[in-house]
Structure 1
Amino acid sequence: MKDEKSKLLKIMNELVRFFLKAGNHHINIQMDLDEHEGVIVLEGCCTRISNKQIQELDSIINSPRKDEAEEYYWNLIGSNDFSELHLLGALVNDGEVGYERNNLRIKVRRKF
């Protein structure tokens, strides 16, 4: 479970970086853990985000999880000054992206 918590923290860091780049400085974060999965939800007002960015993020977080490459990928995300958002799909099982009235909501789920 220790590695799973570390992976979830890195996923959350990468999503926070995405929010900050999208012009958001007020982010609500919720993380729920149990013995089978972790769920991260970020929500806040974003004023500098395009429909294309939202569609790309949705596509990334809903791409198939890559268990075989996970050990390599999870060390890369959330730990440097460069965005590794494109690697999130390899680490999460599924996600949701919603954007309405400048409110962005991202939810990702990782099963253990």
Structure 2
Amino acid sequence: MRERLKSIKIVDELINYCYNLGISQIHVDLEDVESAIKITVEGFCDGIAEEELQSLNDFLSIPRQEEVEEYYWELIGEGNKNELALVGMVIDDGQAIYSNKRLNITVLLKK
């Protein structure tokens, strides 16, 4: 049950990130299987700065930190500021790709 709540908060934060980039058409795919939850958020935008994409990938590749996750995961998606660093600390893998005016963000949360 806790993993489901985390996945909802992660989706909320990723959608918020896309809105802040000016993406208005956002598609979310959440796949909950026995061993992991895979979340894909995709949207169309005219462009994303290389530094912004690199920063996003840096946040998504922060190693999972269970001690942080235990106490702070509930804060994801709650504030007005970008909490992608916190998302990076509670996921196992993540990647953002921009191609053909499409931003694709995929994260994996192992159970």
Shift of residue 35, structure 1, vs aligned partner: 2.1
Shift of residue 105, structure 1, vs aligned partner: 0.2
Moved over 4 A (4+): none
Normalization by structure 1: what TM-score? 0.93
Secondary structure at the counterpart of residue 68 of structure 1: helix
Paired residue for 1:54? 53
Instruction: Give the Cα–Cα distance (whole angstroms) in 2 for the partners of residues 35 and 7 of structure 1.
Output: 16
The share of aligned pairs that are identical, in percent, is 34
Paired residue for 2:70? 71
**Paired amino acid for 1:68:** E
**RMSD (Å), alpha carbons:** 1.1
Deviations 1:30-78 (A, max 9, x none): 0000121100001111235211111011111111100111022211111
Normalization by structure 2: what TM-score? 0.94
- Matching of residue 16 in structure 1 with residue 9 in structure 2: no
- Matching of residue 88 in structure 1 with residue 87 in structure 2: yes
**Paired amino acid for 2:66:** D
Instruction: Give the Cα–Cα distance (whole angstroms) in 2 for the partners of residues 64 and 89 of structure 1.
Output: 7
Deviations 1:5-39 (A, max 9, x none): 00000011000011001110100100000121100
Instruction: Give the Cα–Cα distance (whole angstroms) in 2 for the partners of residues 48 and 83 of structure 1.
Output: 19
Matched positions, count: 111
Paired residue for 1:106? 105
Paired residue for 1:31? 30
Instruction: Give the Cα–Cα distance (whole angstroms) in 2 for the partners of residues 19 and 91 of structure 1.
Output: 19
Instruction: Give the Cα–Cα distance (whole angstroms) in 2 for the partners of residues 14 and 46 of structure 1.
Output: 18
